[in-house]
Amino acid sequence: MSNTPSQGTLLGHPKGLFLLFGTELWERFSYYAMRAILVLYLVDKVQGQGGNGLGWTEQDAISLYGTFTMLVYLTPLIGGWLADNHLGQRKSILIGGFLMAMGQFTLAMPHGWFPGQENAVFYTGLALLICGNGMFKPNISTMVGDLYQEGDHRRDGAFTIFYMGINIGAFLSGILVASAYNSFGYTEMVNGQEVFVKNYQAGFAAAGVGMLLSLLIQLTFAKKLLGDIGTVPVAKLKANQGQKDEGQTGPLTKVERDRIKVIFILGLFTIVFWAGFEQAGGLMNIYADKFTDRFVGAFEVPTAWFQSINAFFIVIFAPVFASLWIKLGEKEPTSPVKFALGLFLLGLGFLFMVGASLQIAGGDAKASLWWLVGAYLFHTLGELCLSPVGLSMVTKLAPVKLASLFMGLWFFFTGLANYVAGFVGSLIGVHGGGEEFMSACTAKAITDAAELAACVDAAKEAAMVDKSLSIFGGLVITGVVSAVVLYLMSDKLIDWMHGAEDAHPQTEEEALDEEMDVIGSHEAMPESKS
């Protein structure tokens, strides 16, 4: 580890921890703010027709969202390699942060600046975000571990604090981005009626400001509070210290082969879980916007606020779950059983969405917002059950000489899950642009242009509700059946782990720190503690 100047402590931890906390908080704010409005922006009507978006179909928008989030999970593998071998973490973070800020501000450019080139500008912004995320994400958490000497008991607590920064940033994102696009919205006349237009470009600009704050914090305080940490590539440090890779040689043993089986089996189930969970930013986001009664009294809850619910529930329930597993002691479920419970809770969450669709099918114009809140609650509880299994299990099960390969494979599973999520969510889309609905409305002898457009929109939305009922029902069945299958396999998986589950912390305090640490495994890179 590099030496860092003594700058005192805060809450018992090096002040550099809170520098990294603030850097990650605003970067996560930036990412989740963009994520909260990406699909909404794509499906919003084009300028002059009552919107400020790109006018894509729901099918194309959710499909694009799935591809984007897949790449968000895969590019950090490249960024981590570049940092370790050539750039160092600090330089990679600055490069990544700059690219992401540029990406957000590219998305924020008004359509009038590049008439006819809106899609090209949009794809450029996404490409910058993907590349920037790849440089930033794998390196910031790595530096948290480098603040502490090997064996420092404060290290696990540091990751707990760091993960709270992640969730605070995610929680603030939906609230503040909604304030931005509503505050800078405007009205325009469409078919003789005044329509309020949400300014999604202002939302992307707010996300860009968050990224600039993250960069500013790094540029201002990093040298003072981090010293030389992250300035020299890991490969160069090892070469200077005469270190060599200590990986094993020779063929895989039976124990290693069995453990690899467990990784692949859990990898398949993790695709199922995240493919359902990641409907949050796509299908469920559109559902909240189009088919949910978001009024609480006279106040209409902004759609983007729903994207903050998961982070809110994480902050509330993570300590509860961490304490629960510890108090259960020897009765604590094994990791595969926790994973199965996570899948079961995922399925139960989508049962709420089935209820929402049935409410509309029963004659209500829109579904209650509490269906969505219930779905997000159970999905979050499922995530908290699953988190100790994911990356932490790979670190325990992968052979030493193949550890990096299998960590990359695990992120590939997660990225593939996001792509599958986009495919599943896109099934709500109306194929062929809805020409059949135009024909049906024309057959009703509707001649007024405004009435004809309203008829077509209503018919398309009715078809989408029917499709969403099928999708949510399918996700309920998939989650529950997967949970049952995995539960029935759990004893065999434990056998194949050959004792990897048996290494437990010595004290209750250490156990609690470990459980809180893995809560953030969905957002942090596993190498962060090396």
HEC profile for 297-365?
CCEECCHHHHHHHHHHHHHHHHHHHHHHHHHHHHHCCCHHHHHHHHHHHHHHHHHHHHHHHHHHHCCCC
pLDDT at 525: 47
Q: Which residue type is seen at 219? A: L
Does an H or E element contain 380, and which?
helix 369-386
The length of the chain in residues reads 530
- From the list 284, 205, 311, the residue with the least C-alpha distance to 523 is 311
Q: Report the relative pairing of strands 193-197 and 292-293 from DSSP bridges.
A: unpaired
Distance CA 26, CA 170 (A): 9
- From the list 218, 30, 220, 47, the residue with the least C-alpha distance to 128 is 30
pLDDT at 357: 95
Distance CA 136, CA 92 (A): 6
Distance CA 295, CA 280 (A): 20
Question: Does 14-241 match 251-520 in CATH topology?
Answer: yes
pLDDT at 435: 64
pLDDT at 510: 54
Distance CA 528, CA 83 (A): 13
Distance CA 220, CA 316 (A): 32
pLDDT at 117: 92
Considering just the CA atoms, what is the radius of gyration of the chain in Å? 24
CA distances for 67 relative to 151, 269, 278, 328, 398, angstroms:
40, 20, 12, 40, 28
Q: What is the 3-state secondary structure (H, E, C) of 111-147?
A: HHHCCCCHHHHHHHHHHHHHHHHHHHHHHHHHHHHHC
Reading the block at residue 394, the tokens are 């790979």
Residues forming beta bridges with residue 293, ordered by sequence position: 368
Note down pLDDT in tens along the chain; length 530 residues.
445 445 667 667 888 888 888 888 999 999 999 999 999 999 998 887 888 899 999 999 999 999 999 999 899 888 888 888 888 888 999 999 999 999 999 999 999 898 889 999 999 999 999 999 989 887 777 787 778 776 666 766 677 777 788 889 999 999 999 999 999 999 988 777 888 999 999 999 999 999 999 999 999 998 888 888 878 887 777 666 665 555 556 788 999 999 999 999 999 999 999 999 999 999 999 999 999 999 999 999 999 999 999 999 988 988 888 788 778 878 888 889 999 999 999 999 999 999 999 999 888 989 999 999 999 999 999 998 887 567 677 878 888 777 767 877 888 898 999 999 999 999 987 655 556 666 667 666 666 666 767 777 777 878 888 999 999 999 999 999 999 999 999 999 999 998 877 655 545 455 545 555 544 445 544 444 44
The answer to whether 350 and 375 have CB atoms below 8 angstroms apart is yes
pLDDT at 263: 92
Supply the DSSP symbol for 85: I
Fold of the 14-241 domain: Growth Hormone; Chain: A; (1.20.1250)
Q: Which residue type is seen at 325? A: W
Q: Report the relative pairing of strands 186-190 and 193-197 from DSSP bridges.
A: antiparallel
Terminal-to-terminal C-alpha distance of the chain: 10
157: buried, middle or exposed (CB in 10 Å: 19+, 13-18, 0-12)? buried
CATH superfamily of 251-520: MFS general substrate transporter like domains (1.20.1250.20)
Q: How many CB atoms lie within 10 A of CB 506?
A: 7
- Say whether 203 sits in a helix, a strand or coil: helix
The answer to whether 281 and 69 have CB atoms below 8 angstroms apart is yes
Domain ranges of the chain: 14-241, 251-520
